[in-house]
């Protein structure tokens, strides 16, 4: 399978007046056609900043300070802004958590879908309209023709999210970046959106970078998982392997923080301690204050980098601790 996205040593900070917030610290991963990579971690761990940096749309005072990003072999950071905009518009679909905020409130749904189509495809207004209707129907939105004439405020959150998805997918992107796409939706709507994403991957081979803090979504959707802590990937593994042998104490902590007996709430709950201050990151492993396994090696060494412990499984930890389930985790790959 072809590589769609490769991120190498991506480093970004927010150069805020109070200090430099080190949001993304040397993140590397790759994503192939037909694959879903989940990016998980507590709030503030740098997931959104990673996505925005990849797309070259990190807002001020954020700045990409290093690293490279390749989209199907093309070096995105070496492109002119103009070219980057074109490539991004055509080859990358984006959906964010808050669809109402991402849609333009002053334009009808139809205008917004058609604009995307017309901006990138040489088609007439009429064909764009036709295609827009089809796209909305594909998202199982009721009465798509009528919907084209409606404004975002007239739609429910779930409908907005499906409209966003229709827009994101209008051009059959090679890559979809979905940042918490189902976080605000109820379980039924969430299942619907996730099914669309699965179909998309199966039918068109779209690669999906899926940001989520729901381990159930990870289990259901992801082929690989990258666990982020303090702006770095601390564990990077095939989903199966991660769920069987979580090998970073932080990942283990995330699983421990899941409820055990009912599987209705699979969100990450805070584990003990708090994430480090990204304005004052230590040289050593930033997880030490919350770690139950930290040793002098950890305290005296620079922060560990990812090392492969078995094929398809890497971890950034000096300890070679195997964590064992005394009770099956409720969330498993379906
Ligand atoms: N505009 C900003 N100015 C300063 N710091 C920011 C800004 N936006 C995000 N951050 C900080 O960057 C870090 C990473 O944030 P983010 O990528 O949004 O985390 P996540 O998506 O994992 O919840 C956080 O510490 C956050 O406070
Ligand atoms: Mg976020």
Tell me the pLDDT tens digit for each residue of 268-291.
666 788 999 999 999 999 999 999
Q: Is the pLDDT of residue 1 over 90?
A: no
Query: Is 23 close to ligand 1, i.e. is its CB under 6 Å away?
Result: yes
**Could you identify the atom of ligand 1 that is nearest to the CA of residue 275?**
25
Reduced to 3 states (helix: H, G, I; strand: E, B; else coil), residue 140 is: coil
255's enclosing H/E stretch is: helix 249-256
Which ligand approaches the C-alpha of residue 178 most closely? Answer: 2
C-alpha to C-alpha distance for 116 and 103, rounded to whole angstroms: 12
What residues flank ion ligand 2 with Cβ within 5 A? 47-48
Reduced to 3 states (helix: H, G, I; strand: E, B; else coil), residue 45 is: coil
Query: Is 39 close to ligand 1, i.e. is its CB under 6 Å away?
Result: no
Q: Which residue's CA is minimally distant from atom 4 of ligand 1? A: 14
Place of tokens 């997880």: 287
pLDDT band at 334 (very low <50, low <70, confident <90, very high): very low
Quickly name the fold that domain 3-106+151-315 has: Rossmann fold (3.40.50)
| Phi-psi category of residue 180: left, alpha or beta, with phi > 0 → left and psi -120 to 50 → alpha | left
Q: How far is the CA of 278 from the centre of ligand 1 (A)?
A: 9
Place of tokens 């990937």: 233
- What is the model's pLDDT at position 331? 54
Q: Is the pLDDT of residue 117 over 50?
A: yes
Model confidence pTM above 0.85: yes
Average of pLDDT values for 179-195?
85
Residue from 52, 65, 62 nearest 177 by CA: 52
Query: Is 232 close to ligand 1, i.e. is its CB under 6 Å away?
Result: no
Q: How many CB atoms lie within 10 A of CB 270?
A: 11
Q: How far is the CA of 44 from the centre of ligand 1 (A)?
A: 5
Average of pLDDT values for 193-199?
89
Do residues 243 and 329 lie in contact, with contact meaning Cβ atoms separated by under 8 Å? yes
Which ligand approaches the C-alpha of residue 232 most closely? Answer: 1
* Domains of the chain by residue range: 3-106+151-315
Q: Is the pLDDT of residue 321 over 50?
A: yes
Reduced to 3 states (helix: H, G, I; strand: E, B; else coil), residue 326 is: coil
DSSP tag of 171: T
Q: How far is the CA of 330 from the centre of ligand 1 (A)?
A: 30
pLDDT band at 214 (very low <50, low <70, confident <90, very high): confident
Do residues 215 and 254 lie in contact, with contact meaning Cβ atoms separated by under 8 Å? yes
Query: Is 14 close to ligand 1, i.e. is its CB under 6 Å away?
Result: yes
The per-residue pLDDT of the chain, averaged, comes to 90
Q: Which residue's CA is minimally distant from atom 18 of ligand 1? A: 48
DSSP tag of 302: P
**Could you identify the atom of ligand 1 that is nearest to the CA of residue 231?**
14
Q: How far is the CA of 43 from the centre of ligand 1 (A)?
A: 9
Most confidently modeled range among 91-100, 133-142, 181-190, 217-226:
217-226
Query: Is 48 close to ligand 1, i.e. is its CB under 6 Å away?
Result: yes
Considering the chain, what percentage of its residues have pLDDT values greater than 70? 93
């Amino acid at each position: 399978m072809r590589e769609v996205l490769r991120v190498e040593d991506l480093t970004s900070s927010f150069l805020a007046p109070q200090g430099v917030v080190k949001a993304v610290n040397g993140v590397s991963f790759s994503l192939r056609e037909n694959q879903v990579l989940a990016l998980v971690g507590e709030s503030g761990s740098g997931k959104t900043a990673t996505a925005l940096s990849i797309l070259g749309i990190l807002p001020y005072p954020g700045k990409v300070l290093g690293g490279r990003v390749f989209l199907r072999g093309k070096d995105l950071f070496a492109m002119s802004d103009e070219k980057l905009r074109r490539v991004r518009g055509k080859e990358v679909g984006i959906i964010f958590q808050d669809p109402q905020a991402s849609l333009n409130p002053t334009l009808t749904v139809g205008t917004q879908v058609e604009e995307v189509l017309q901006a990138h495809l040489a088609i007439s207004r009429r064909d764009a309209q036709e295609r827009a209707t089809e796209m909305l129907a594909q998202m199982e939105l009721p009465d798509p023709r009528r919907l084209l004439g409606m404004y975002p405020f007239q739609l429910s959150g779930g409908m907005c999210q499906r409209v966003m998805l229709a827009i994101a997918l209008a051009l059959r992107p090679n890559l979809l970046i979905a940042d918490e796409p189902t976080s605000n939706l109820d379980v039924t709507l969430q299942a619907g959106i996730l099914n669309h994403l699965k179909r998309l991957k199966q039918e068109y081979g779209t690669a999906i970078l899926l940001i989520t803090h729901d381990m159930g979504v990870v289990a259901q959707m992801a082929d690989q998982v990258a666990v982020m802590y303090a702006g770095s990937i601390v564990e990077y593994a095939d989903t199966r392997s991660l769920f069987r042998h979580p090998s970073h104490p932080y990942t283990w902590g995330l699983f421990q923080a899941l409820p055990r007996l009912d599987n209705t709430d699979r969100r990450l709950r805070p584990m003990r301690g708090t994430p480090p201050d990204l304005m004052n990151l230590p040289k050593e492993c930033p997880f030490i204050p919350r770690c139950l396994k930290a040793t002098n090696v950890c305290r005296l060494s620079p922060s560990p980098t990812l090392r492969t412990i078995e094929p398809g499984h890497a971890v950034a930890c000096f300890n070679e601790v195997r964590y064992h389930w005394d009770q099956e985790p409720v969330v498993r790959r379906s």
